[in-house]
Amino acid sequence: MNKCVFLDRDGVLNEDRTDYVYRIEDMIVPDGVVEALQLLKEAGYLLIVVTNQAGIAKGMYSREDVMQCHRHLQDLCGNLLDDIYYCPHHPDYDTRSLLRKPDSLMLEKAIAKYNIDVSRSWMIGDAIRDMQAGRRVGVRTVHITNDRQKPAVSDRQAPNLLEASRMVVSAVMA
């Protein structure tokens, strides 16, 4: 069985925006992200992105816009990502979907497709819904946050993906 790190996209792999990231010129990968992904790959993890893309349901952008961003993200990250799943739905605009985090169908599909051992896998995200989706399938979680004062909603907390990746790799070695 494979071990995996599930990754949220906006706010983890690229800078988040209040008005959505759906144009390649808005796809900004912070320092340390590529190094973090390389570290996880060297440790033997599959890297699978699971991202809500409600802007599709809201009519703000298209599925093709999302795919262009994902191709661009792969280019910026050295093609280290093994797969990218996205949910185009929002319950207030089109339909309720089990793909949409905090539900876990994106993760469940990847677990089945890639024969993933959840006991050796992680979810890294910047929102509580990411932690909830990870917990639903039984993976450990790392919350990307700079607010250490809030009660922990995850197994670990880190200020950025590089620190989160170091925690994941050292947890395995410990």
Question: Domains, the chain, ranges and CATH?
Answer: 4-119+129-173 (3.40.50.1000)
The rounded distance, in Å, linking the Cα atoms of 129 and 146 is 17
Q: Is the pLDDT of residue 161 over 70?
A: yes
Residue 21, number of CB atoms within 10 A of its CB: 24
**Can you give the pTM of this predicted structure?**
0.94
Asked about 19 being catalytic, the answer comes back as no
DSSP conformation class of 84: E
Residue 146, number of CB atoms within 10 A of its CB: 10
- Encode pLDDT of 16-40 as tens digits: 988 899 999 999 999 999 999 999 9
Active-site residue identified among 8, 65, 103, 130: 8
Share in percent of the chain as helix, strand, coil (round to 5): 40, 20, 45
Instruction: Write down how long the chain is.
Output: 174
The rounded distance, in Å, linking the Cα atoms of 110 and 122 is 13
Going from the C-alpha of 107 to that of each of 41, 50, 172, the distances in angstroms are 19, 7, 21
Contact 86, 53 (CB under 8 A): yes
Question: Which comes out higher in pLDDT, residue 173 or 3?
Answer: 3
pLDDT band of 173, cuts 50, 70, 90: low
Sign of torsion over alpha carbons 137, 142, 143, 149: positive
Strands (E), the chain: 4-7, 46-52, 83-87, 122-125, 140-144, 156-158
Can you give the pLDDT at residue 147?
Answer: 77
The rounded distance, in Å, linking the Cα atoms of 85 and 70 is 10
Determine the average pLDDT of the residues in 39-68: 96
Contact 22, 140 (CB under 8 A): no
User: For residue 50, which of 82, 75, 19 has the smallest C-alpha distance?
Assistant: 82
Asked about 75 being catalytic, the answer comes back as no
Contact 85, 49 (CB under 8 A): yes
